[in-house]
Structure 1
Amino acid sequence: MIHFPRVRQSPLRALGIRLFAAIGLVLLIVLVVFIDRRGYRDITDTPLSLLDCAYYAVVTLSTTGYGDITPISQSARLVNVLVITPARVLFLIILVGTTLEVLTEQYRTNLRLTRWRKTVKDHVIVCGYGTKGRSAVNVLLENGMDKRKIVVVENSPAALRSAIANGLVGVEGSATRSAVLLEAHVKDAKSVIIATHSDDAAVLVTLTVRQLTAGKVRIIAAAREAENAPLLKQSGAHHVIVSASTAGRLLGLSTSAPPLIDVVEDLLTPGQGMALAMRSAERQEVGQAPRDLDPLVIALVRRGKVVSLAEPAGLTVETGDMLVYVRDDRSASLSQ
């Protein structure tokens, strides 16, 4: 089942709006009848008072219609046709507003679902919205990705509600099932991020994605243990992030070389100072040495492979290269 983010409204506010709308409509009809009160006849043959006009408006709008007060002039009957009858329908709509709201919400959801299925393409699917999944989504958003391009697949109702509350499209179900991934349009996705709670589930999701997409979608998986990384790569993952070993390395750095952990945290924390970024090489940069470029370039990506600057001297930038560089993230955040 696909869930879309909803704009929530307070129940008291919704009830208050309907109540004021109903009272306002009744007062309007009372005013209309009172202005043309000579065009109405009471069975008692007495002129209509303001109370009589209010009584007629209420029984008419509620479709009770006792018939003790009736329009007799042409103008009064015209007002009944053009004003009071439409107002009666509107009054009933207000009274049954809750039912209509549910039907309208269902129609709106179906319309959004149909539109989404027609337009979703080159999106990122995040399987699992735990700590790793939320962090991955935050990085995507910080790098400028539209929320509408992110789809969360989650089996936990609480985690799914959290994703929807954050404005993301959520698909309820296990990512190990083909039907669930097809609901997320995995065949049209740009990449799939697998952030499940266990490595065995990550392997199953990887195998399922590879089977459905024939290897055409980039798969990035997270593993708890380093020994499971080769298995994930054999299953079809293009990149595997080992959370346990990565955390262990950072813990070791924080003990043996404390300044290095500060640098790593700075690179990984958005808007704090330095940040890693990647862009295509510009025309005027082709033929130059990477170390001579500004900003600081630390690696090249050439034909899908990383070229380290530790390569022999004479390395120059070629057409089509991607530059991995360190940018000043503080200036970027201030400009935004």
Structure 2
Amino acid sequence: MTASDARLTSSDGLASPPPTHVGFLLIPDFALLPYASAIEPLRAANRLSGRPLYRWSHVSIDGSPAQASNGVEIRPDVSVGDDVRFDCLIVCAGGNPAAFRNAAVFAFLRQQARRGARIGGVSGGSYILARANLLTGYRFTIHWEHAPALLEDYPELDLRRSLYEIDRDRLTCSGGTAPLDMMHAVIAREHGSELALAVSEWFLQTHVREGAGPQRMPLRERLGVSHAPLLRVVERMEQNLEAPLPRAELARSAGVSLRQLERLFRTHLGHSLGEHYLGLRLDRARDLLRQTSLSVLEVAVVCGFSSASHFSRAFRARFHHPPRAERGARQPAVWR
């Protein structure tokens, strides 16, 4: 079926609008699960409604098969630069989208937006949209793994830590299985909640999550800890990595003495308060070294270290190699 097909005729003889044409732009190393979670609800909507409500095309950068992060390849229907019109174009990306630089892709996305297509991104796809300057003035979301690097590159953008965001003609989703929830909202808006619920039930979704829901497990489940004051302290630590809070202030927020707080960390997490805070900051630093072009000194400052030498010593002690070796070993490909 092509975009020029005549309008369909329904069983009652009335003309029906043509199917919504959705494009999936597959960036090399894209994540397969969120891609599947975005496209499968469209197929289910067609099947359950008995009508071709949606059709889709796969787009690759150069017409070659696009390879997912697990090695699966998908043959494209069109390539970037082809004269094709979409009603909606969704960018699927994973790996390290911060390293992606491709002027032709950015121009193609802007062209589709000018032509009136809704533009979306799943998992790391929102990073590509930010690079193409298509998120200014929109609220959006991205997978939590990519959020720190994106905020360093684009601090002025309205990034939310939600499952998905639908803001006018922009659809963004954090990834994983969250596209199932986003597409539920899309189908409900376009074809009614009854069909959307039927699609969700078909995929055994016993609970459809709201877009504003959290991306990550609550700390209670993530750490296997149920001590509320301790969890409050860890949450404050995670929110204050660039300017670490004094230990006494953390103890006050927990309503315990510093000695008691240290004992809580030893008992429940197996290490000291300082070790836990340092680990959080170094983990963030490793993510930034992998995903951004910030210098080692800049990463050190962003993660609350007073000097590059202090940062390097702490990094080597935790990961058994210096920061520069981490970057060299993990440097991703840049697709031109």
TM-score when scaled to structure 1?
A: 0.31
TM-score of the two chains, using structure 2 as the length reference: 0.31
Larger radius of gyration: 1
Which structure ranks higher in relative contact order (CA pairs < 8 Å, sequence separation ≥ 6)? 2
